[in-house]
Amino acid sequence: MVKTDVRAAAICAAMAWLVYWLTAVCFHHVSTPPDAYFNHLAGSFLAHRLDLIDPPATWDLSNFHGRWYIPFPPLPAIVMMPLVAFAGVDAINTTLFCTIAGATAVAFVFLLLDGLSQRRWTTLSQAENLWLTALFAFGTVNWWMSTTGSVWYVDQVTTSTFIALATMLAVRGAPPVATGASLGLAICGRPPVIGIAFLIIVIHGMVDEKFRVSWPALMAFAAPVLVAITALALYNQRRFGTPTDFGYLYAANLSGDGQMYGQLNLHFLKRNLWFMFLAGPEWNAARGIWAPSRTGMSVFLTTPAFLLIFTARRPTRLAVGAWLAAALGVIPALLYYTTGAHQFGSRFTLDITIPMLVLVALSVRDGLSRVAKAAILLSIAANALGAAWWHWPR
């Protein structure tokens, strides 16, 4: 039986939240920005409407038949609904909400890593699991994104939290319906994360120790995922008359390439590969320094510790599941009409950070080496600088 160290998980979450919140405070970015939107959408849901009621801004919104809609899926608004019902739309601080969501993900990551160790699927000690938890909290884009209350980042951080929850529950032997419901909610934030299902199904099979997932268990897992997909389709049908249309084509700021080629197209593959995996900093002539590009920068520069995923000695079922989840999760981002611009690093990699972290854990043999610890510390330093650069007045 896998034991749950609630105290350690709570400490991890508290420390992460403190760093996230102090980061926002230090740069005076603690209020709800005009383009937060999800708190307003929660208010609209409570008023039985799908459009925004008098939005404070319209950047990145879709105008359809004279009404303003959020093209992004509604997960954060669903989570905010009880808060908005209790305190009202204007009382919701989306930056605070985002710091809490990001810190909650940190707790789930620790419990995930600890569960992998207890099942002896990895060889990490608790101290080494804390190293990898710190890598997620402070050595990935989760840091700066968790300190930003705008619509794009709240959406991704909240989705990542539910990915971590679903994977953690699977490792700890939760019923498939619980993991399916958690993943279904994540899909209601970002549909491309459906590929995480392959990692979770592999984990359920490994928990059985005979590597078998019965049809009843598989259906129990799939049912809430299908409910989530159906709900999103109906949500789009009610808004735009088409189940697959999220409304991006009605956004005034959709790029020219997006209008020409659509949201997903092979035309964008070369560019996205470059900015997600290869691009480095660029020369800022105005300041006379090399600086991160807001268009994007290689995940292996912002999180060098992810290079450890290529050092695993032999493939395992868990590694295959994690690689498959990461590959399927990254394909939509590689074909997407934008790199995720206005970012430090590549923010879309947050969708696949959990399976990549599992792969890092699987790469460790005989304890974390000095090289691995140095890579983690370098990742943390890079993201500390990235968070400061992101918030620094321009």
The structure's pTM equals 0.96
**pLDDT the model gives residue 215:** 86
pLDDT score for 306: 98
Give the residues of the chain that fall short of pLDDT 70: 1, 209-211, 252-258, 394
- The total domain count for the chain is 1
Q: What is the model's pLDDT at position 211? A: 64
201 inside domain: yes
Cα distances (angstroms) measured from residue 92 to each of 49, 55, 189, 252: 19, 14, 19, 27
CA–CA dist 175, 207 (Å, integer): 11
pLDDT of residue 261: 82
295 domain residue, yes or no: yes
43 in any annotated domain: no
pLDDT of the residue at 4? 81
Distance CA 325, CA 346 (A): 18
Range of the domain at 25: 6-31+93-244+259-391
Query: What is the phi/psi pair of residue 5, to 5°?
Result: -90, 80
Do residues 223 and 184 touch, judged by C-beta distance below 8 A? no
Residue 60 domain-assigned (yes or no): no
Residue type, 247: G
What's the distance, Cα to Cα, between the start and end of the chain in Å? Answer: 52
- Indicate whether 54 belongs to any domain: no
Would you mind telling me the total number of residues written for the chain in this entry? 394
Q: From start to end of the chain, where are the E strands?
A: 62-64, 67-69, 282-284, 289-291
Structural domain contains residue 185: yes
**Cα distance between residue 232 and residue 192, in whole Å:** 13
Q: Is 252 contained in some domain? A: no
Q: Do residues 2 and 366 touch, judged by C-beta distance below 8 A?
A: no
pLDDT score recorded for residue 255: 57
Report the C-alpha gap between 314 and 98 in whole angstroms: 38
Identify residue 355 by its one-letter amino acid code: P
